[in-house]
Amino acid sequence: MADELVLLDFWHSPFAMRVRIALAEKGIEYESREEDLSNKSSLLLKMNPVYKQIPVLIHRGRPVCESLIIVEYIDEVWPHKSPLRLLPSSPYDKANAMFWADYVDKKIYPSGKLVWGATGEVQEAAKKEMIENLKELEGELGDKPYFGGESFGFTDVALIPFYTWFYALETCGDFSIIEECPKLVAWTKRCMQRESVSNSLPDQYKVYCFLLELKNKFEAK
Amino acid sequence: MEEVKVLGSWPSPYGFRVQWALELKGVEYEYVDKDLFNKSDMLLKYNPVHKKIPVLVHNGKPIAESVVILEYIEETWPQHPLLPKDPYERAMARFWINFLDNKDKVAPFVTFFIGLGEEHKKAAEEVKELLKIYEEQVLGEKKYFGGEEIGMLDLAMGWMAASFGVIEEIVDVRILDGETFPRLHAWIQNFRANPVIKNNLPDHD
């Protein structure tokens, strides 16, 4: 029933990647519509008038916005037993998964943006913060194969799209993520072995070029 | 025997949300107030990542971040449900809570409270715009944001019912009046009149 589900998408957006991964994990068919963010479609403006941002999942004509809310929605509408269930069933484990997904939004995204997007002192400070944040995440991962434990889950979905930023972060920030966080890098490799992930993530170098373009655009303003 | 503790800091609205949720569900808990500027060992122990309140501690296990806590409370104590059953309605409630908590949407209220001169004026305009969204798009014709009963979004908006009037008094600028925002105004009265909420509102003084 592909006509029931439309994803307003943008190939390079880590937030859109989360939704693609979640849908792929559950084997749900959908239509992806690539948006031109410099020329947003009337559909996007209509479906997300508040933020005018992707991703937007349109299910039976009704829009769901904000990537983590969309992933949670997908998990509720298409509930599967583990391992296809993205959020754990135990309230405490679920809360933990949500906490760390929220951490990615609060910490990784803002400091990451400054590492590839800023220069000088601002960039240096962001780099320090980013390394701390990645280590903190690595601490949470521990010796588990995934943040979700034995199964790939909500926090994994929330974080793995930022793997596409690694090349950009390392090149702009001049540091090595594998040196700082070897276990986290091992986790990224494990995730990339999943088709749902490898099919949903663009190449790191292409993302680097895209981010540089973005950075230049802002600097030009 | 369940042990439920809430680490909060008066008058944080994020702490109030958690308390209201527990009160509405009839869950007994112990409230522990933390001096906001004196990050005690307890806070560092229970929320080492963000070092912030509120924190819910259930049988020794800590949960942090008010929205995560509310969802946990909802799952653990299903009586007096705070979220609709329908996944789409749930997503909408979550969306608006997320909007409400968004830094950019909180900032105008803060500036309205503490800003001066031009900054304050601009903030007042932004606050009016936001209130318009809450009144028309989010509340609409409903009695509560949650529909017929108080829901999670009401609790998140609750600080407005609890404190906005006081803020208006302090800055001596009225925005949320019955004429301009009749529905929000009515919602505030209804929210404050709820017997559980009534007993758990911060004092005017």
Q: Is 90 exceeded by the pLDDT of residue B199?
A: no
What six digits make up the tokens of B172? Answer: 């001596």
Whole-Å CA distances, A173 to A98, A176, A202, A209, B80:
29, 9, 21, 15, 50
Tell me the nearest-neighbour CA distance from B62 into chain A, angstroms: 9
For chain A, percent of residues with pLDDT exceeding 70: 96
Measure CB to CB from residue B91 to each of A69, A92, A136 and give the nearest one: A69
B77-98: average pLDDT: 96
Instruction: Please judge whether B68 and A102 are an interchain contact, meaning their C-beta atoms are less than 8 angstroms apart.
Output: yes
List, as one string, the DSSP characters of chain B. ---EEEEE-TT-HHHHHHHHHHHHTT---EEEE--TTS--HHHHHH-TTT--S-EEEETTEEEESHHHHHHHHHHH--SS-SS-SSHHHHHHHHHHHHHHHSHHHHHHHHHHHH--HHHHHHHHHHHHHHHHIIIIIIITT-SBTTBSS--HHHHHHHHIIIIIHHHHHHHT---S-TTT-HHHHHHHHHHHHSHHHHTTPPP--
Q: Is 90 exceeded by the pLDDT of residue B189?
A: yes
The confidence score (pLDDT) of residue A188 equals 97
Exposed, middle or buried, A25 (CB in 10 Å: 0-12/13-18/19+)? buried
B107-135: average pLDDT: 91
* B11: amino acid identity, one letter: P
- Measured between beta carbons, the chain B residues lying within 8 angstroms of A96 are 63
What dihedral angle (degrees, nearest 10) is formed by the CA atoms of A185, A190, A196, A202?
Answer: 30
A184-199: average pLDDT: 97
User: Cβ distance A188 to A163 under 8 Å?
Assistant: yes
Position A77 confidence tier, pLDDT thresholds 50, 70, 90:
very high
β-bridge mates for residue B147, sequence order: B144
Give the residue numbers in B contacting A (CB under 8 Å), as ranges.
Answer: 49, 58, 61, 63-65, 67-69, 71-72, 75-76, 87-88, 90-91, 94-95, 98-99, 133
- ipTM summary value: 0.93
- Residue-wise pLDDT for B152-184, tens only, equals 999 999 988 988 888 888 888 888 888 999 999
A17 three-class SS: helix
Q: Is 80 exceeded by the pLDDT of residue A208?
A: yes
Nearest in space to B70 (alpha carbons), one of B105, B22, B38, B118: B22
